[in-house]
Amino acid sequence: MIDLSQLSVPNRLQVTDLQFAARELTLLLGENGAGKSTLLSALAGIHVSDDSIIHIFDKPIQDWPLASLATFRAWLGQQTHSHFSITVEEMLSFFAQSHHTPDWFDWLDCLEITAFMNRQLDSLSGGEFQRVQLARVLLQAGSAIDEGQAIVLLDEPLAALDLRFQYVVMDLLKRLRDKGNCVVISSHHPEFATGYADNVLMLKKGQVIAQGRSENVVCADKLSQCYGVEPETLARYFAGNN
């Protein structure tokens, strides 16, 4: 679905030859400032330099009008609060108007949003707000997601979520992937690579330092290189997760 031949953002990111396929969930890992958001926003068609070569469904990304992209590309940026004094329901129904799908109710149920539909957006906790943002971006591309034809790009979808909701969201993303959608997310939770991600892409200082199947990439030496954490510390961390 996405074929990136070249992407160059001076002093931020330099990557070549990356493919993101249908029915695959890719996890982007990397320390703060590694370039994950820069990569995701370029794949989303935002801030793409003229000399970048990225094809979405075989068409150069620069040739896609943003309004067309928005119908099949779900994009979650990093946003921690709302600038609007409206209710959750008002905000979500704005996105529901043109893309109402049966999955809409499942997503609200799954993300447990129905209980606070009448609350003001700016009164929500960080995790509640993040769940509403996830519902919003899925809803926007709802029809394409339902048909398994969407590209779902989420920058730190697990940020602010408690442990249970981290699993809820990862399970939801896995279901979207299983429908045929292409899912690419960034996260600071490498432990979710196993059992959820088909591929892992590790970035450091704007370069890819490792990529491939989760079991080959998420190992102590590569994580140590990626984050600059001692292998012994990582071993303790992963032992604690078992």
Positions that interact with ligand ATP (CB under 6 A): 12, 30, 32-38
Tokens of 225: 């290189």
> Given the structure tokens 């249970």, which residue do they identify?
164
CB of 78 to ligand ATP, least distance (A): 6
Taking the least distance from each CB to ligand ATP, the nearer of 12 and 189 is: 12
Residue (of 45, 99, 42) closest to 71 by Cα position: 99
CB of 207 to ligand ATP, least distance (A): 11
| Beta-sheet strands, E only, within 64-140 | 73-76
CB 127 within 8 A of CB 160: yes
CB of 44 to ligand ATP, least distance (A): 12
State the DSSP code for 192.
G
CB of 105 to ligand ATP, least distance (A): 32
Taking the least distance from each CB to ligand ATP, the nearer of 36 and 73 is: 36
Taking the least distance from each CB to ligand ATP, the nearer of 187 and 214 is: 187
Taking the least distance from each CB to ligand ATP, the nearer of 138 and 201 is: 201
Rounded CA-CA distance 197/173 in Å is 10
Taking the least distance from each CB to ligand ATP, the nearer of 12 and 23 is: 12
Rounded CA-CA distance 104/97 in Å is 12
Helix (H, G, I), strand (E, B) or coil at 107: helix
CB of 35 to ligand ATP, least distance (A): 4
Tokens of 92: 């979500």
